[in-house]
Amino acid sequence: MLYSLKGDGRVDFVTGRLVREYTRSSYGNPVYQTEAFPLFYWWNHTMYNDPEQDGVNGNERVYQENIEFDLSRYKPCTFNGQPC
C-alpha cells in the first residue's frame, strides 16, 4: 500500500503485506486476503522488517537504510482502465 502522510499526493510511506489468498470477484476484480499487519514498512529512506507482524510498536528491525522506494517498479492494478 502506498500512502501520502502529508496529504500532498507524494508517496512518503509504504507497507508490504503477505498475501494469504488471491481470487477474483464475480465482476473480475482481484480480491486479496492479507495478513492483518504488514511485514515491511518503508519510511524516511529506511525499510523496516516486522517479522512478528504485530503492527508498529517498537520491535521492528531495520532491514535497509538509505534506500529510496522505487515507484517505477510499482505496478498498480488496473481493470478496464480503472485502478483496482
Low-confidence ranges of the chain (pLDDT < 70): 76-84
Q: How many CB atoms lie within 10 A of CB 50?
A: 20
What pLDDT was estimated at residue 71? 80
Which grid coordinates are listed for 75?
505496478
Q: What pLDDT, in 10s, does the model give residues 69-80?
A: 888 777 766 666
What pLDDT was estimated at residue 59? 95
Assign 3-class secondary structure to the chain.
CEECCCCCCCCCEEEECCEEEEEECCCCCEEEEECCCCCEEEECCEEEECCCCCCCCCCCEEEEECCCCCHHHCCCCEECCEEC
The rounded distance, in Å, linking the Cα atoms of 56 and 36 is: 12
What is the number of domains present in the chain? Answer: 1
What mean pLDDT, rounded, does the chain reach?
88
Provide the domain limits for residue 72.
2-83
pTM here is 0.75
